[in-house]
Structure 1
Amino acid sequence: MKSLIKMTLVSSAIVLALVGCDDKKNSPAASNKVTISTDAQKEAYALGSSFASYMKSNLEQNEISADSEYLISGFNETFRNDSQLSKDEVKTVLEAFGKRIQEENKARFEKEKATNTEAGDKFRTDFAKQAGVKQTKSGLLYQIIQEGSGRHPAAEDTVIVHYTGTLIDGRKFDSSYDRNETATFPLNGVIKGWTEGIQLIGVGGKIKLVVPPDLAYGDQSLPAQDDKAGIQPASTLVFEVELLGIDGDNNSNEKEATEPKKSTK
């Protein structure tokens, strides 16, 4: 079973780069439901369901679409060794399709980058005019909400924080408050804007950071997760961060700090 699952996931990865899904409620495949009676049938159905969910999710993320009726027919007929296309024809079609998808993705990336760059520049210019806002040599903009009475961390320290991260339009992409747990991580292991910005306040302090793309994720994009927004290329990011403590300090104000499962900020 393990080898079969592994093979299926590998096959999924190949298919995901090449095809898409556009559900049709009235397709023949949608109207014919099987009856699940045995454990073996349940296992086979679960494997197919997992395959479909994994494929559908990744196709939506890549904004690729295709006729689901033909997609399912291609799978079923080929699985029965009754494909209407030869292996060479499939290869030729998919190579052309893959090239088209790459070109579309590149065009979409360039458009998103240009739009986000222009919007980010305007947002930072406007934010810089607000009372109490300062800018560092690197281009990081910050506004100290509360100085904090404890010591300032160094880049080599591990900090304990609560934070909210939003895009410039206010949509939230991450929040330790929403998880109801603080985050703990080495300050030199996060984005440059954080490494520099958190050192500007002491323990007990709070700061607002407006981070330009080159101090954040640059041209990378991060997918949306659950109810949180994704991050597009060249995005300016906004954070409000409370410095609760410095790991290892006896006098740190930790406020029930906990180790995070994984830090991405």
Structure 2
Amino acid sequence: MKSLMRISLIGGAIILALTGCDEKTKTESASNNNSNTVITTTAQKEAYAVGSSFSTYMKHSLDSQKIDVDTEYLLKGFNETYAGHSALATSEIDTILKALGERIQKEESERLEKESNESIASGDKFRAEFAAQEGVHKTESGLLYKVINPGSDNHPTIDSTVVVNYSGKLVDGREFDSSYSRNEPATFPLAFVIKGWGEGLQLIGEGGEIQLVVPPELAYGKQSIPSNGEEGVGIPAQSTLVFDVKLISIEKNESLSTQDEATDSATPVSDQ
């Protein structure tokens, strides 16, 4: 686990300042400017930009790792150390940060274990209920599926590249990905998607539609997938995933040959 407290963050913050913040951050800063600071010279602008970038980077790092700190003392530590008057010796700081890193790692491990156990329990319950529905079938691998429309006789193979529209949800109904929301079909080489997709899409032909309920061992297993953006929905470890997929077409002689080309598409692409 990378410690956010390491001094290398300062270098990272300066790099961010020199390369510039993203447009969203710039817009938010401009629309929420309640500062009374007067900036007139280029040197002042540059210095303020470095400080602002460092603050943004540090706040994001703290928030992403769910670390709650006393802001007053965080600023004191920065200002006094920068001025050469730290209240703590370097050796003491190293000891404190090492202990903090260990505590964060322990808390994160406990959180992931709890999250995984909850995902397993909810996934097992959902799959049992789905399996009892009319028209639902189960493969030897454990994939559950329901064919909505079988489509044509032209079925893809594991070596095919398919064009699809789909939505992906967690078992609680929250949608984590959808080609419909992007208003554009997605293209996937079946050899590079999660196992549940690679197996499931071969069960229908062009024009067909299928609902896939994918157990974690055929999806992302113990891996946790972060959300895309603040409003997005991530995929917890050990999640059962629910996909509604329409197979639009099978590409002819245009199979993608690398995983990197496949990752232009969305969530079902596997990194295994």
Corresponding position of 2:23: none
Structure-2 change in CA distance of 1:234 and 1:49 (3 Å): same
Q: 1:135 to 1:150 in 2, by over 3 A?
A: same
The reply on whether 1:230 has 2:226 as its aligned counterpart is no
TM-aligned CA distance change 1:234 to 1:78, over 3 Å: same
Q: Does 1:198 align with 2:201?
A: yes
* Secondary structure in 1 matching 2:162: strand
2:93 counterpart of 1:79:
no
Q: What secondary structure, in the 3-state scheme, does the structure 2 residue paired with 1:245 have?
A: strand
Report the TM-score when normalising by structure 1. Answer: 0.81
Whole-Å separation in 2 of the counterparts to 1:192 and 1:72: 49
Structure 2 CA distance for aligned equivalents of residues 232 and 109 of structure 1? 8
The 1:196–1:11 alpha-carbon spacing in structure 2 relative to 1, beyond 3 Å, is farther
* 1:58-84 per-position Cα deviation (integer Å, ceiling 9, x unaligned): 332322211112112212222222211
* Partner of residue 24, structure 1: none
Distance 1:80 1:32, change over 3 A: farther
1:229 Cα deviation after fit? 0.9
1:166 matched to 2:130 = no
Matched, 1:187 2:215: no
Q: Secondary structure at the match of 2:39?
A: coil
Q: Separation in 2 of the partners of 1:110 and 1:178? A: 32
Contact 1:203 1:246 in 2 (8 A): yes
In structure 2, C-alpha distance between the alignment counterparts of 1:222 and 1:71, rounded to whole Å? 31
Counterpart of 1:169 in 2: which secondary structure?
coil
**1:194 Cα deviation (Å)?**
0.7
The one-letter amino acid paired with 1:43 is E
Query: What are the Cα deviations for residues 152-178 of structure 1, in whole angstroms up to 9, with x where unaligned?
Result: 111111111111111111011111111
**1:216 aligns to what?**
219
- Contact 2:177–2:266 (Cα < 8 Å) also in 1: no
Q: Which residue number corresponds to residue 54 of structure 1?
A: 57
Q: Residue 246 of structure 2 aligns with which residue?
A: 242
Please give the alpha-carbon distance, in whole angstroms, between the structure 1 residues aligned to 2:77 and 2:92.
13
1:254 corresponds to: none
1:262 deviation in Å? 4.1
Where do residues 93-132 of structure 1 align in structure 2 (5 Å cutoff)? 93-132=96-135
Do the aligned partners of residues 41 and 248 (structure 1) sit closer, same or farther apart at CA in structure 2, a change above 3 Å counting?
farther
8 Å CA contact retained: 1:132, 1:144: yes
- CA-CA distance at 1:50 after TM superposition: 3.0
TM-score, L = length of structure 2 = 0.79
Q: C-alpha separation between the residues in 1 aligned to 2:167 and 2:143?
A: 17
Amino acid at match of 1:239: F
Q: Which residue identity does 2:243 align to in structure 1?
A: F
Q: What is the deviation of 1:38?
A: 3.0
Instruction: State how far apart, in whole Å, the 1-side matches of 2:117 and 2:171 are.
Output: 15
SS in structure 1 of the partner of residue 181 of structure 2: helix
Unaligned runs of 5+ in 2: 1-7, 16-33, 255-261
**Which of 157, 161, 167 is 2:160 aligned to?**
157
CA deviation vs aligned residue, 1:90-116 (integer Å, no higher than 9, x gap): 000011111111111111111111111
Do the aligned partners of residues 133 and 66 (structure 1) sit closer, same or farther apart at CA in structure 2, a change above 3 Å counting? same
Q: For the residues of structure 1 that align with 2:193 and 2:51, how far apart are their CA atoms?
A: 39
What's the RMSD between the two structures over aligned residues?
2.4
Match for residue 22 of structure 1? Answer: none
What amino acid maps onto 1:235 in structure 2? Answer: S
- Structure 2 CA distance for partners of 1:168 and 1:217, relative to 1, 3 Å: same
Contact 2:13–2:57 under 8 Å retained in 1: no
